[in-house]
Amino acid sequence: MATTRTDTGRSNQKKRTRTAIVEAARELIGTGAEVTMPAIARAALVSEATAYRYFPDLPSLISEALAGVWPAPADALRPVADSRDPVERVAFACEFLLRGILARQGAVRAMIAATITRPETVTTRPGIRFGLIDHALVPLQDTLKATDPEAFVQLERDLAVVVSAEALFSLTDLCGLDPDEAVASAVRTATTLTEAAVRASASLACGDA
């Protein structure tokens, strides 16, 4: 019986320690500051070695800390749920994602750095961008996707390049834009791509008619 109580106590302590590490990571991520394992360990009041015992690397810890932080695509796009204009929906989705990235950019940069040096960890990155793009393009399901599936897939690919953290950081870090300018630039590009696809779809429909 004593052994059982001891084992239960240790198990509970491990759960508390893991929870403390994840909560510390989530709080640090929310500040937008640089996210590192030493900083998280300090905030959780544990040693860095202890943090690594619970999480093998920083991406796995960030991934768990971000779980549930991003809303589902349908919830994120609720303000434009009644719109059948894919351009308006894509613009909203792009700004929503990039604003969210800016708010958590320390964590996002850490995840990008990890996937560059260790491509096999890419699956730990949240796939929010693809869900947002797919949901934004719902009005084109019965038009562009039905008449020209390859064009629809190409639009998704094009938007994945623009509606992304990599594009945002290229605009801020390399082009020297401030965050608002960078977001506006990405939104313009995303809407231009979508408008071109919508025009092409309409032309194809008229040709069929």
pLDDT in tens, 19-63: 999 999 999 999 999 999 999 999 999 999 999 999 999 999 999
Cβ-in-10-Å burial (0-12, 13-18, 19+) of 176 comes to exposed
Q: Span 158-174, mean pLDDT? A: 97
Q: How far is CA 172 from CA 91, 117, 134, in A?
A: 19, 22, 26
| Residues 167-186, mean pLDDT to the nearest whole number | 98
Q: What is the pLDDT of residue 207?
A: 56
Tell me the pLDDT band of 123, cut-offs 50, 70 and 90: low
Topology adopted by domain 2-66 = Arc Repressor Mutant, subunit A (1.10.10)
Q: Average model confidence (pLDDT) for the chain? A: 90
Q: Where are the domains positioned within the chain? A: 2-66, 73-208
Whether 169 shows a pLDDT value over 90: the answer reads yes
Percent of the chain with pLDDT over 90: 72
Residue 198 pLDDT exceeds 70? yes
